[in-house]
Amino acid sequence: MTNEELMETKLQIEGLLALRLPHKLQVELEYNLYKGTGKCWAARVDPTTKKILGFVDAESVVKTDRNKGYKVFLLADGHYLTCEAGTKTRDSRNYIKVSNGETESF
């Protein structure tokens, strides 16, 4: 096979893989040890009871300072609760619904 044929085959394979993989949304959440609990996380929740079903693992953790940074989460379609640094005494929590890589509140 020539180099052009290999590149064309590679593009076809990547296109087919993109169709099969679920849409994922990239979310960056901040943490700061001196605000709220000092943690950030994302959890999958039941849409009717809003009960936490399980936590989502972070794809990467980036420290921007000694006491703060952010975590990157990839969220598939579903309902989630996110928590990140808010004010000095409280965390900022949001219920979100992810569908086709787009977010909306619920």
pTM of the predicted model, to two decimals? 0.76
The pLDDT confidence band at residue 17, using thresholds 50, 70 and 90, is: low
In a domain, 14, yes or no: no
The domain tally of the chain equals: 1
In a domain, 15, yes or no: no
pLDDT digits (tens, 9 = 90+) for 36-79: 999 999 999 999 999 999 999 999 999 999 999 999 999 999 99
Cα→Cα distances 82→5, 26, 36, 50, 92, Å: 45, 12, 14, 12, 8
Ordered DSSP codes for 78-97: EEEEEEEE-SSS-EEEEEEE
Q: What is the mean pLDDT of residues 9-35?
A: 81
- Residue 25, beta-bridge partner list: 75
pLDDT digits (tens, 9 = 90+) for 71-106: 999 999 999 999 999 998 999 999 999 988 788 888
CATH of the domain at 46: 2.60.40
